[in-house]
Structure 1
Amino acid sequence: MDTDRTPQAQVWPTLQAHDAPALIDFLVDVVGFRRNTVMTDEDGRVAHAQLDWPPGGGIMLGSHKPDGEWSRQPGTFGGYVVAGDSGSGVGVEEIEDRATRAGATILTPLRETDYGSRELVLADPEGNLWSIGTYRGEPRADL
């Protein structure tokens, strides 16, 4: 019997970047994503990258292709990431510490919200906004 009632990630936010390798490094080294796949094309540009979020889910990204079929302007993404447990490497305090040491742009320092979350908001080198907090969302009614 399957006791894990958490569905596998089926939604993958996607981003494009002017400097995809630098964005990947930031998201791995500062935020705490893990490299899964990074594929480059013949010009050395990132054709596809998958970064996994240790507690579950992830994102996909690549180098900006202005004439691409599914082109997105770099720096226009905003996402909420549920922080892991403290000591996991992806706890909200650990991310704030790494972001501060890296000189990242922290738009909203770590704070308590009126809905019981501990959150901070930072910008990555492309200008995308990342809200990182402890709020896990409402339980799914169908599980």
Structure 2
Amino acid sequence: MADKPRGSALVSCLGYKDADAAVAWLCRAFGFKEHAVYRDEVGKVVHAELTFGRGMVMLGPDQGGEFGKQFMTLPERAGARCTQIVCIIVDDVDAHHDRAKAAGAEIVMAPKDQIYGGRSYAARDPEGHVWSIGSYDPWAVEAKG
């Protein structure tokens, strides 16, 4: 039996105080698509899988479950700092920047050309997670080192 095609073997997981709002905002501002969204009996998001090209992020309510309570926190409880930044690869950085800014993203680094190639910008979502969006595709270049 052939393996089923899939995206990246790495999937980032994020917690949000308002997971419902996060799903809607990430789709509107950054262009994610809902892959699967699981809701509780009152309709609140308990787990969501959002795709961007062949990549995916999973998200849920802040400190959902024992794992989240023990190992995750929100940027606001970490002094607005993040221990991980999710990178999104896009073709048109400036158009993506304009879309995100129009949706209310806080631009923390304006679009600029990078020394390693490509162009990128960075934005903070409404709950403080920082995202790096750029045209540099590390899969498209030969590894060095």
Match of 1:64, as an amino acid?
D
Match of 2:50, as an amino acid?
L
What whole-Å deviation, never above 9, does each CA across 1:96-123 have from its counterpart, x for those lacking one?
Answer: 1112212320000111111122000000
Tell me the residue number matched to 1:53: 52
CA contact (8 A) 1:45 1:63 kept: no
Tell me the residue number matched to 2:86: 79
Tell me the residue number matched to 1:102: 103
Name stretches of at least 5 consecutive residues in structure 2 with no aligned partner.
Answer: 76-81
TM-score normalised by the chain length of structure 2: 0.78
Name stretches of at least 5 consecutive residues in structure 1 with no aligned partner.
Answer: 1-5, 86-90
What whole-Å deviation, never above 9, does each CA across 1:117-136 have from its counterpart, x for those lacking one?
Answer: 20000000110000000111
Tell me the residue number matched to 2:31: 32
CA contact (8 A) 1:108 1:120 kept: yes
Please list every run of at least 4 consecutive aligned residues from structure 1 whose deviation after the TM superposition is greater than 3 angstroms: 138-141
What whole-Å deviation, never above 9, does each CA across 1:36-77 have from its counterpart, x for those lacking one?
Answer: 1111112433111010112x11111111136x2211212344
Total equivalences in the alignment:
128
Identify the structure with the greater helix proportion: 2
Question: How large is the RMSD of aligned CA atoms in angstroms?
Answer: 2.1
Relative to structure 2, which stretch is displaced further, 38-47 or 108-117? 38-47
1:65 pairs with one of 60, 63, 73: 63
Match of 2:23, as an amino acid?
I
TM-score normalised by the chain length of structure 1: 0.79
- CA distance in structure 2 between the aligned counterparts of 1:34 and 1:120, rounded to whole angstroms: 21
Tell me the residue number matched to 1:133: 134
- CA distance in structure 2 between the aligned counterparts of 1:73 and 1:26, rounded to whole angstroms: 20
